[in-house]
């Protein structure tokens, strides 16, 4: 009954924590492709190939359902995977749609035509690859009209967070917010379009100001997954054990993950 959680690095652990709290009886297998992180600077074909390889490894671990807790993979690879690669008895879901449904105040599965929504000016902070893909804008256009989206590529932020350099990470957040505000001075809502960024949510909020609504993904994905599994219990895979897998050095990744989540995490080699 295991479910797979995939990220290029450690950011998806924010999603893992949220889904584990929401679904305590479900075993989760986390796969971090730390050897090839970060994905945000890679081209779309590279991200696609790496994401497929990681997904296959999670299928091998008994996870018929895999959550791409990586915005870059969701943006650059998911649609192509769903259209031509994923077998009928497997599912791979991304992290964009729950966020957009919350932003546009839609219920899960509401496929009615796009309509005007309350929010008109939205800022997106994401990796360079996610920004290039325009996947957020494409998914938003399916659900809402008349929304102006300004995207800001946050180069260097994932690397700083992964290395635990929070002083650099905080400086980068302020720099990227300043750059965004030069293009969109008064955003009404902000999307933290990377699963690493919730760790810096307070810094983003401080830099943006209290009047700006900041959306991050972990809890929204957890609620969406809970709803999905209630409607599709057949997608619970045969795996029964939780675990952590990495393509990187298990000892180093375990140390970084333990610092990242402030609790003991032990990774095994994938």
Catalytic residues: 70, 194
Tokens read off for 139: 């998914």
- Measure the CA–CA gap between 64 and 237, rounded to whole angstroms: 5
- Measure the CA–CA gap between 265 and 258, rounded to whole angstroms: 5
Cα–chain center distance at 131: 13
H or E element: which one contains 169? helix 166-183
- Measure the CA–CA gap between 176 and 126, rounded to whole angstroms: 10
CA distances from 53 to 21, 38, 116, 190 (A): 28, 16, 39, 32
- Measure the CA–CA gap between 261 and 7, rounded to whole angstroms: 15
Spatial CA neighbour of 29 closest among 241, 236, 233: 241
DSSP state of 253: H
Residues facing 28 on adjacent strands: 3
Tokens read off for 19: 């889904």
* R_g of the chain computed on alpha carbons: 18
Are 170 and 197 in contact, with CB atoms under 8 Å apart? no
- Measure the CA–CA gap between 192 and 213, rounded to whole angstroms: 11
Are 77 and 52 in contact, with CB atoms under 8 Å apart? yes
């Amino acid at each position: 009954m295991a479910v797979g959680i995939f990220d290029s690095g450690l950011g998806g652990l924010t999603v893992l924590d949220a889904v584990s709290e929401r679904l305590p009886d479900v075993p989760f297998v986390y796969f971090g492709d730390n050897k090839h992180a970060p994905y945000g600077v890679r081209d779309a074909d590279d991200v696609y190939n790496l994401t497929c390889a990681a997904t296959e490894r999670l299928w091998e671990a008994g996870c018929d359902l895999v959550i791409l807790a990586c915005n870059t993979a969701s943006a650059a690879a998911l649609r192509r995977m769903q259209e031509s690669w994923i077998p009928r008895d497997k599912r791979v879901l991304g992290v964009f749609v729950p966020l957009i449904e919350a932003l546009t105040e839609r219920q899960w599965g509401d496929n009615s035509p796009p309509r005007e929504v309350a929010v008109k000016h939205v800022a997106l902070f994401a990796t360079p690859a996610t920004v290039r893909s325009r996947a957020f804008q494409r998914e938003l256009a399916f659900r809402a009209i008349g929304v102006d989206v300004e995207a800001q590529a946050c180069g260097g932020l994932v690397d700083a967070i992964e290395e635990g350099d929070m002083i650099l990470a905080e400086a980068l957040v302020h720099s990227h917010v300043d750059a965004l505000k030069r293009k969109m001075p008064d955003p009404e809502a902000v999307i933290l379009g990377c699963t690493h960024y919730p760790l810096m949510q307070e810094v983003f909020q401080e830099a943006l100001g209290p009047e700006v609504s900041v959306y991050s993904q972990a809890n929204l994905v957890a609620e969406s997954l809970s709803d999905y599994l209630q409607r599709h219990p057949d997608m619970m895979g045969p795996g029964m054990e939780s675990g952590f897998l990495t393509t990187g050095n298990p000892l180093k990744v375990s140390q970084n993950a333990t610092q990242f989540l402030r609790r003991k995490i032990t990774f095994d080699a994938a």
